[in-house]
Amino acid sequence: MFTGIITDMGTVRAVEKAPDGDTRFEFQTAFDTATINIGASICCSGGCMTVIETGPDWFAISASAETLSKTTMPSWKEGDRVNLERALKVGDELGGHYVSGHVDGVGRVASITPDGDSLRFVFEAPEDLKLFMAPKGSVAVDGVSLTVNAVEDRNFGINIIPHTQEETTLGRLSPGDTVNLEIDMLARYVVRLLEKE
């Protein structure tokens, strides 16, 4: 479980595709990797991944074919920046919202326009996710907890403040770029319950 509050912007340092269809990613990080256990969960731009190896300033994960098919990870290459968050501990401050790290789909940046000191992003969600977007609701975009400002069909708008632009990969996005989306857990269950009526 995560909060969507990014604590490090890491860098992809190596990508290795295995014959079995899995892909190994290594990430350079500012985290103290001596405190990261093998088997620990780290949210990597929205995907909850299991640590399989660590080094002095890096850790490695293995992404299955299923994970690769549901996320933007196949496009990641050496030098790309990635939002990182370690798993929530009991007693930690919950500054964002509950994020599971299970990516629901890949969205697209439709537009970016200045709005005061912030940037107004409009994202296009996949058709099957549009019912889960609601004004003032929560969504995780590349692992970042954000508040939805407006919704129009498949498009939803979000304001990104300067701090978030600087401390996450969102400030590096351009129109047309793809992002990992995770819908709010509460919205998931409410829609599911309504489907059964």
Give me the CATH topology for the region 8-86: Elongation Factor Tu (Ef-tu); domain 3 (2.40.30)
pLDDT of residue 92: 73
Task: List helix spans (H) across the chain.
Answer: 65-70, 162-167, 185-195
Looking at the chain, the whole-number percentage of residues with pLDDT higher than 90 is 84
Q: What residue spans define the domains of the chain? A: 8-86, 105-195
Tell me the pLDDT tens digit for each residue of 50-104: 999 999 999 999 999 999 999 999 999 999 999 999 998 776 777 778 899 999 9
The Cβ-side half-sphere exposure at 13, using a 13 Å CA radius, reads: 13
Q: Rounded mean pLDDT of 4-15?
A: 97
Beta carbons of 106 and 126 less than 8 angstroms apart: yes
pLDDT band at 196 (very low <50, low <70, confident <90, very high): low
Calpha distance 197→162 (Å, rounded): 43
Contact 180, 46 (CB under 8 A): yes
Residue 197 has pLDDT above 70, yes or no: no
Q: In the block, which residue shows the tokens 């590349």?
A: 142
Residue 192 is predicted with a pLDDT of: 66
Name which of 31-45, 85-99, 159-173 the model is least confident about: 85-99
What tokens were used for 161?
């403040």
Between residues 120 and 94, the one the model is more confident about: 120
What pLDDT is stored for residue 69 in this prediction?
93
For the domain spanning 105-195, the CATH number is: 2.40.30.20
Q: Quick check: do 8-86 and 105-195 share a fold?
A: yes
Which of 82-86, 96-100, 106-110, 145-149 is least confident? 96-100
Average pLDDT, the chain: 93
State the average pLDDT over residues 141-148. Answer: 97
How much of the chain, in percent, has pLDDT values that exceed 70? 95
